[in-house]
Amino acid sequence: MGAWGTGPFDNDDALDLFLEIEDAGPAEAAQRLRAALQVVAAEDDSYLEAPAANEAVAAAAVVAFSYSHSDPTGNPRVARWLTERAPALGPDDGALAAKALERVCGEHSEWLELWSEAGLGQQARAVAEQLALALQSPRP
């Protein structure tokens, strides 16, 4: 995985996702974000590969922004896009994002394994937990 930090958009997979949604309309962007979350939130015990987990963390950060209106991304370009062209997300998206984050931080997750091997497992988990907390905020 090409990663330079534990932030939601600090890896190639997340930035590729952003490039897909950056010029999309709000409904199309929301659909792509939901797809990234649904792949990871699926109820099964299969091994979760890092690319899918990276996309889900990034998608969860976008959903968290829609709940908290604070920037959890750490990326100025993504933050500007969120402020100017936030996708049309609904109340069910928060629960979907929370479920995806739970799986990303759970057993059978290459995402957590790779961060742990790099000595950054706690830091990466803290990022996911911070996003999960933002998702608990009441939706404006």
Tally Cβ neighbours within 10 Å of residue 112.
20
Residue 83's identity, in one-letter code, is T
pLDDT in tens, 16-72: 999 999 989 999 999 999 999 999 998 778 999 999 999 999 999 999 888 777 766
pTM tops 0.95: no
Cβ pair 56, 100 in contact under 8 A: yes
Q: Which of 47, 13, 20, 59 is nearest to 3 (CA)?
A: 13
Q: Which of 7, 12, 24, 16 is nearest to 81 (CA)?
A: 24
pLDDT in tens, 66-97: 877 776 667 788 888 888 887 888 889 999 99
Question: How far is Cα 13 from Cα 50, in angstroms, rounded to an integer?
Answer: 9
